[in-house]
Structure 1
């Protein structure tokens, strides 16, 4: 079933190859029962998959719905509301996106604990696709959970607070009450309580738990088998004290598992643990004599019947991978088993997150026993003690605060390796070798370990020393950000960082500060193994060009920040770079300077300024046999001044000034520079009307081919020596000039 899922929904080539090998293996067994069972299971799974796909095509068009929204599942960030719900009269779930109109409306939907019925009007639509290479794909993420469409809410009215509540409703009410109670506990205790018991993560979770994220301890806070086993043991002990029979204990335990699954967020990764626990209980009560591997396999089959694409989710991959690793390595000592399980997670984490901390193995060895013996009990005692008096639980919060700060501090130690994204076949090879290492012994284990180490080294070198270079325009919405990377990563230059502009927003509408560069451009850089930027060039002060600079300072090692002459006197800009590393140099330039080790030439500015549009830095370079010119937001007078001061300036590829605004791209400038390709970075449906029709007409009159992030998403020019080709993520276009 797993291989059929990969073939139907993932990489078909790899799926067919593995299915073929499995078919040969099954045929060689010559066991009629095994062959018949496999054929039957395959037919059933294929039927479930086809039925699921037919159901997904149903929700389209403009409609009104009644939906029930649970406060514990609604996500509110500023004025943005999103939630997953079953609309009345529709079989499948949908993701709803709405814009809150008042702070009172916001409180009404989040302050209560009972579900609220909304009447929403709007239109269903497919999820927006990922527009940058290796960007998190929201459409695929929800598709894997049998959610095909989102619903864009244009208006909604609160009909009522639900009064007739089902058992599921009451569990959500209890979870909401629990989460709200934890919000009033001391800060660290509250975060640990919701993370470890109800599976809820507040918006500031990753800000407070940087160590947990960087040291590979997120699996501890993702409700899984460890949590299920821990709470099931508490329930079992209570039933022993009550003297209940084995059958009654089994029934109560199964009911508890169902309720806890809903209470803890009903994540796909948790489903594995619940199914395995239920099968294990049935196995013990009825003496079926199933092995742990049988239970694991049965859980996987049931899970795939319920969610045919579940194994494409990172949480599910980690859940099944670690549980299989536990079964395969049960003969090993605790230290060897923990090390092996950590290395089993590495290929999965690298495929999704691209980085790994060397200290994570040691920290897991130390921390995992602490969670079961110290942290869990303290959190439970703290939650109960908070009902009596807050002063009683302050020592517990103090200990957790100290423990969490220790993890955060250790995560900043040297050892974070930005590995890059290995390909799927390589990940499968790494996982297979690691699993073989778990079951092998003696000299065979040493050979497998050697092959595994050589595989990691070869893949690391392949990612970090590419034969190709690239010039890339990121799709960051309304803003600019460009990458110039030379072959073998000899030099990495970034021009602008992008950033979100917020006009006229009230405090309650803004929500938590987040840098989109972390999920777009920085994410891409890490996926190709880049953790160091040699030159970060900031064209000028505008937020849509340098607003995400703090994120790069936090996430990347930056050798130099290069800015236009005079911008170091701009207080708002200097505030953005206040936290830069002391080794990061700040360099102010004009068109007369030749910057050593910068693979580009400065053409503007020639006078000191404040970093406004007319002060924009203009950069030119030659890569892959093409001449490139990046103009920031330079206005028309600045363009004419530039070609006047630098006569003969020409470019094959021009980054169009000011996102295609008519204030830039003077016809005389275009005529003088003679571009064949124009790059326009502008947000979809932006308020400014970029790119302007006048600019597009000018480019068309000069026979300039246009690549626009609005239509093409990320645009990359991949080159080797003096030849290359363009690639786009949307409306796929590949070809040479």
Structure 2
């Protein structure tokens, strides 16, 4: 293949000895893994690079560099994988909106060396990299604030340390935009005042400075709006054009639509334009009314993307916004500068910032977090129109307010009281996770959580712990208005079945955790659930257990164990006019043992054991339970080659229709009363049925 032509017109494939320039400030490193947004050469569109360092020395040399590096690599060019779960973060769409064409998977870094001849842009990235490395020496909270507010960098632990900022709707403060540009220009203006430059000279310096600041701060699409508005405002003053703030905002929007139209689909850009427009509309409002309007304008956008809202967010914004501009932001600047000259004075500043951040984190734990769910796009547009009508005093305010409140309440009820029930097989890669929820959300049951097995061998390879459930199954649950799981059934101890349990414990309310009898004596499993809420019940079960309210029957195990494959919990239920059987990783011996204890067992839908491995789905077992449909949850290109061909042949010979996450992504059976239908996120059915 020809690497030097436009990537989007090229097929995927292998390549060797290709070089690209890396700006260390743009490199994201987590353990042994790294990612980078850039180009293979200057003629190509943007691509996203993913790779792993082979040695600690290699990681340190690349990630600690200040100057741009020229890396020579081998690897392959691939398309972005599509989102395979409903409401999953869609990397393909996200990067497409930023004109990123392909993924480059780096297999080997063959060589790297510093770039010796630096352009102006190279020097700005070098300066930002030096600044980021300096921030790494600051105390923890000051470091996070300095990186986020001054250079637009976020480390892997940003969201874990800033839970209050996220849940109280303050993320827009940490997205470098209008406020930061205003501060930057104010500082430049003060400095230029000392030199008494002519009007044109002052404007020239400001324009050059704002361009440099755009590069230094990471050049995000959200910042592009603020920078363009600042440039137009400077030119407006220089030429006395008489443009109003609304004219400048409108011109900025037009330029954005011409240069980066798809960026308007990004939440950060939507918030940036929404907040700036709200400030223009509410210019004559009192501070309280202005803050209320800004929250009302951003609320539909946040619900569409994040699905949650905290009732304290308005009050917190009223308190925090003036404090942030007059106290926190200057404190971060002072702390960063003081650290260069008198490091000991940084400690009290860090203590103040930590106290502020801890207060926000504490406030976010107070009652009031509402999992609203994802409203339809047309509903979001209607919410925004009604809000603007109120702000602009168009029509009858009482009618508009009543309509807006009715729209919010009606949308909330439709999401939270669905007429349909569903059984969901999430696509969690090489693992299992199933959801059973009944109409009107009367009961919500989760069978396994999924999770990844960590094959890292040494300490330096381990990065900040993340859970894929946060962007897959938990994201889906919140999008449909679910914040509480009544029963969380853990089939057995393996990480690909319960590795993401901590994420559910942190993000959801859980009524009861069920596990096979004896697994409560397994130390590694108990460590996973040590942070559970004190009101969460822990119930070991066997096939004689009866759990009040559980919409499933327990068929296995009948003896205590430590939660190994042969101890897997087997669950049966009947919903939507069909009978279902979930078998975890139960082996063939366990299948036949279950059949011996339940000889009349007949089902319509079977969750094939152990991801379709040959160790499960015994032909005799399949013949006797007579399923019509089999569900297989397995990772693409997994190292175990699941599902095995023997299992597929057994199911095909029995005339069983197969749904497989490898080819169809998330699978949903949606039903009302005694009838329903299957839906798949991906629609390729070839090769597995």
TM-score range, shorter chain: over 0.9
Question: What is the distance in 1 between the residues matched to 2:21 and 2:554?
Answer: 58
Asked if residue 86 in structure 1 is aligned to residue 16 in structure 2, the reply is: no
Change (3 A) 1:60 1:473: closer
Matches within 5 A, 1:480-491: 480-491=432-443
Q: Verify: 1:704 aligned to 2:656, yes or no.
A: yes
Q: Are 1:667 and 2:619 counterparts?
A: yes
Decide whether the 8 Å contact of 1:727 with 1:733 is kept in 2: no
Q: Which residue of 2 is the match for residue 326 of structure 1?
A: 279
Shift of the alpha carbon at 1:63? 3.4
Give 1:445's match in structure 2, choosing from 377, 397, 400. Answer: 397
Instruction: Rate the CA distance shift 1:341–1:722 in 2: closer, same or farther, 3 A.
Output: same
Aligned pair 1:165/2:118, yes or no? yes
Q: Give the drift of 1:154.
A: 2.3
Query: Following the alignment from structure 2 to structure 1, what is the Cα–Cα distance between the partners of residues 20 and 625?
Result: 57
Instruction: Give the distance between the partners of 2:101 and 2:390, measured in 1 at CA.
Output: 39
Deviation at 1:649, TM superposition (A): 0.4
Give the one of 232, 238, 250 matched to 2:185.
Answer: 232
Identify the residue that residue 417 of structure 2 maps to in structure 1: 465
After superposing the two structures, state which structure 1 stretch, 266-275 or 542-551, moved more.
542-551
Tell me the distance in 2 between the aligned counterparts of 1:118 and 1:515: 30
Distance in 1 of aligned mates of 2:92 and 2:503 = 26
Q: Distance in 1 between matches of 2:233 and 2:196?
A: 21
Deviations 1:499-541 (A, max 9, x none): 1101352211121111111111000000000000011011111
Of the three residues 95, 98, 107, the one matched with 2:60 is 107
Partner of 1:130: 83
Q: Distance in 1 between matches of 2:503 and 2:351?
A: 30
1:293 to 246, 251, 256: 246
Which residue pairs with 2:353 in the alignment?
400
* Structure 2 portions without partners, runs of 5+: 1-5
Aligned 8 A contact 1:139 1:148 in 2: no
Task: Name the residue aligned to 2:480.
Answer: 528
Of 425, 444, 450, which residue of structure 2 is paired with 1:498?
450
Q: Say if 2:568 is the partner of 1:616.
A: yes
Describe how 1:297-312 pairs up with structure 2 within 5 A.
297-312=250-265
Distance in 2, matches of 1:56 and 1:313, equals 21
Q: Note the 1:194-205 alignment, pairs <5 A.
A: 194-205=147-158
Q: Is the 8 A contact 1:613 1:635 kept in 2?
A: yes
Give CA-to-partner distance per residue, 1:73-124, whole Å, 9 cap, x none: 0111122121111222533111111121111111111111100001122221
Query: In the alignment, is the contact (CA less than 8 A) between 2:663 and 2:685 conserved in 1?
Result: no
1:577 corresponds to which residue?
A: 529
Shift of 1:133: 0.3
Quote how far apart the aligned CAs of 1:611 are: 1.1
User: What CA RMSD, in Å, does the superposition of the two structures yield over aligned residues?
Assistant: 1.5
Residue aligning to 1:36? none
Q: Does 1:420 align with 2:373?
A: yes
Q: Does 1:454 align with 2:406?
A: yes
Listed one character per residue, the Cα deviations across residues 156-197 of structure 1 (whole Å, up to 9, x for unaligned) are 223420010011000000001101101101111111111110
Contact 1:56 1:146 in 2 (8 A): no
**Aligned counterpart, 2:129:** 176
Alignment-derived partner of residue 3 in structure 2 = none
| Number of aligned residues | 681
Cα distance in 2 for partners of 1:380, 1:595 equals: 57
Whole-angstrom CA distance in 2 between matches of 1:592 and 1:86: 61
- Alignment match, 1:22: none
Q: Secondary structure at the match of 1:253?
A: helix
Match of 2:463 in 1: 511
Counterparts of 1:214-363 in structure 2 under 5 Å?
Answer: 214-363=167-316
Structure 2 residue 140 is matched with structure 1 residue 187: yes
- Per-residue deviation, residues 455-502 of structure 1 (Å, max 9, x unmatched): 000000000000100000000011110000101101100000111101
Q: Deviations over 1:580-611 (max 9, x none)?
A: 11111111111112221011100001111111
Residue of structure 2 equivalent to 1:13:
none
**1:120 — aligned with what?**
73
Query: What residue number does 1:634 align with?
Result: 586
What is the CA–CA distance in structure 2 between the aligned matches of 1:221 and 1:86, rounded to whole Å? Answer: 27
Give 1:543-622 correspondences, 5 Å limit.
543-622=495-574
State the 1:243 CA deviation. Answer: 1.5
Q: Do 2:7 and 2:101's aligned partners in 1 also have CA atoms closer than 8 Å?
A: no
Cα distance per residue 1:322-356 (max 9 Å; x no partner): 11111112121111011110111111111111101
2:310–2:369 contact (8 Å) kept in structure 1: yes
Q: SS at 2:176's partner residue? A: coil
Partner of 1:678: 630
Does the aligned pair in 2 maintain the 1:540–1:617 contact within 8 Å? Answer: yes
Distance apart, 1:648 and its partner CA: 0.8
Contact 1:56 1:147 in 2 (8 A): no
What is the deviation of 1:58?
5.3
Work out the CA distance in 2 between the residues paired with 1:136 and 1:207: 18
Structure 1 residues 87 and 291 mapped into 2: Cα distance closer, same or farther (>3 Å)? same
What is the aligned partner in structure 1 of residue 323 from structure 2?
Answer: 370
| Structure 2 residue 99 is matched with structure 1 residue 146 | yes
Deviations along 1:194-251, one digit per CA (max 9) or x if unpaired, are 1110000111111111111111111101000011011111111111122122211111
Q: Deviations over 1:402-456 (max 9, x none)?
A: 1110001001001100000011101111111111111117x82222111111100
Residue of structure 2 in register with 1:542 after alignment: 494
TM-score by length of 1: 0.91
Any stretches of 5+ residues in structure 1 without a counterpart? Answer: 1-53
CA distance in 2, matches of 1:703, 1:129: 30
In the alignment, is the contact (CA less than 8 A) between 2:456 and 2:462 conserved in 1? no
Match for residue 66 of structure 1 among 14, 19, 24: 19
Q: Residue 427 of structure 2 contacts residue 661 of structure 2 at CA under 8 Å; is this kept in 1?
A: yes
Contact 1:659 1:680 in 2 (8 A): yes
Q: CA deviation at 1:55?
A: 8.2
CA contact (8 A) 2:447 2:488 kept: yes
Q: CA separation in 2, counterparts of 1:706 and 1:520?
A: 22
Q: Specify which of 389, 395, 399 is matched with residue 436 of structure 1.
A: 389
State the alpha-carbon separation in 2 of the partners of residues 530 and 461 from structure 1.
12
Find the residue that maps to 1:145 and give its secondary structure: coil
1:60 CA displacement: 5.0
In 2, distance between residues paired with 1:625 and 1:567? 33
**TM-score normalised by length of structure 2:** 0.97
Alignment correspondent of 1:43: none
1:372-414 Cα deviation digits (max 9, x unpaired): 1111111111111101122112111110011110001001001
Residue range with higher mean Cα deviation, 99-108 or 89-98? 89-98
Superimposed CA distance per residue, residues 558-579 of structure 1 (whole angstroms, 9 cap, x where no aligned partner): 1111111111111111111111
